[in-house]
Structure 1
Amino acid sequence: MREGFSNTQACRIVGVDRRTGQKWRNGRRPTGTQRTAAEPVRVTPEPCAAGRFLCEAERVHIADRLRERAPVRTIAAELGRSPSTVSREISRNRHPVSGRYRPFAAQARADRRRPRPRPGKITRNPELRDFVQARLDLRWSPQQICHALREQFPGRPEMHVVHETVYQALYVQGRGELRREVAAALRTGRTRRRPRRQARQRRPRFTDPMVMISERPAEAGDRAVPGHWEGDLIIGSNGASQIGTLVERTTRYVMLLHLPGGRTAEDVRDALLATVHTLPAHLKRSLTWDQGSEMAAHRDFTTATDIPVYFCDPASPWQRGSNENTNGLLRQYFPKGTDLSVHDHEHLTRIAAELNARPRRTLDWHTPAQRLHTLLTT
């Protein structure tokens, strides 16, 4: 039967009665006379050509296994599908009255729902469209509109939508559900949607390949060995000024980079070179940075200093926790929205010294300067 023969054909080939083959196919439980049990013969259908949607053979398999009272997770594992896919299929396409799952009727229901394009919910309901349109004219966000719909129409599910439905009505071409000019009322001001790629689908950030933080040595992660640094930039008002920050992970010692000319890859590279050359050799082990464009010259920095640079994953600031916390402390001296170009190199040095002289609870109330001095002397 795994080769595609029916139960009758398989019994004829093997040379047994059809009922005997059916018992073999369905398996048997241990009894008083027959103490050994036998697992049923399960025929797993071939995956659909499309891959994304369930096919008729898979629906037949789901129906057979439901009659055998198999769990949903077991059925999903046999089909190579997600358990949620099988669960949704059963709840969507079962008979509305009896609740039984019939595979061919389920296939027909799925085929009826599949044709595209489908009219949107906002298009089908003029009252809903006018409500959303009026709130967009008042510059409400889609999330605020959806929350107001649920509060104002609690017992009318036809008036309930999620914010993605509103965005689709605004941005998708050819729908005509909402006036395109109201998209300018959104806070982003965009009339076209900006695509967002998944992290694994993004293009390489730099010409030289990055070494990710997952490959950073374990000694940097547990802060047992000093000399591993975290870096970032603090940006001033209108993105026109910047200051570089370096934090040593073990001692929390802070060093500030003066960047008066800009934050290009060459500017940041030269400032890093000038700063790390003042450190002793045993405090130059690694540098961790985010994937900002200012680190495009990371290979030149590594070649000149022999310090490997490790990059954090996208949208993962917690992987540089010490640096993020230090940047928050530095905002006491450099408030957001201020011009950072007014601070010269000497002023940055004084601020770093003041911060390094501040006791820290994570250092048993020692200061970063004291911890660094202990490392240098011992």
Structure 2
Amino acid sequence: MDFASLRRRLLGWYAKHARDLPWRQSRDPYRVWLSEVMLQQTQVETVRPYFERFVAAWPTVADLAAAQEQHVLRQWEGLGYYRRARNLHAAAKRVVDEHGGEFPRDVAGLTTLPGVGRYTAGAIASIAYDAPAPIVEANTARLYARLTGLREPVASTAGQRALWAFAEQVVPRRGAGRLNQALMELGALVCTPESPKCDACPIATHCAAFAQQATRVIPVAAKRQTITEVREAAVVVRRGADVLLRQCGPGERWAGLWDFPRFPVEAEGPLFATRELVAGVERLTGVVCDSPRHHDTLRHAVTRFRIRLDCYHATRLGGRVRSTQESPVKWVTVAGLAEAPLSVTGRKIAAGLR
């Protein structure tokens, strides 16, 4: 493949079509890192307001390192994949504590930071420092697969090996950051998953899938993930003007976030045994409530789970709050829910309480 021609055509296209995105306004490694972590498995337009709020609240990595984790999680709320936020905070602390507030300049150093893998490290190193570091993420993986005519699933071991080998070939010694951004932009805007705009692609003449009329079958689809149906209950327990909250512990779906007492249930729909609900609340919190009344049903999906969440209201009868170091429990006012980082469904329940 003529990489010099490919790069020249791609950069010419990027000069005309690059989107005006807030994280592209500087090569500050803090902003590059923040944007790349936020963009993992998340659309650009979803990320834009979160990025702007984060840099307004914490303009530097030192500011973020000094923040309380609960404040970071509250700002992240709604963006999903909350482990990213916890890793973000932990990595900021490490940059300050171990690197004097300066990000490592190479891929090897960057990958020692929590939550920074090979792709994110390559993006930071190339965009912030112009290091000749390759990148492979969702958009470029699709683009590379079509350019090379890859017939292996992109997520397979063989597929990943081939994609990274191509990425190492295409990245130049100088100008790597701009080229990597152009590759990602072309994947996002032109070489799309469905109906790629091959007639508008500046490098279509370099594309094996285009030549083979195989853009509909490349990249090769991965085996579909099995969807698991899950039923859960959430109980809003009141004590006067207060409601009961529990922080999700390590290993739970929303670790670090606060939620109303929530647990899986066995029976169909909202009409299962009251004692199962009462026992669930007491097991998680130590609080004994009266018979919960069904209030609403929410449906949502998380990774491979499709969840039906039946929401209940109840009143405290007795018992004492039982907290653990990993999963504290507390009473808060309804107004105080605005300050607590909640899951998406927890925030919907809280909105109904107002």
- Scaled to the shorter chain, the TM-score interval is under 0.3
RCO higher in structure (CA 8 A, sep ≥6): 2
Structure with the higher strand share, 1 or 2? 2
Larger Rg: 1
TM-score, length basis structure 2: 0.24
Give the TM-score normalised by structure 1.
0.23
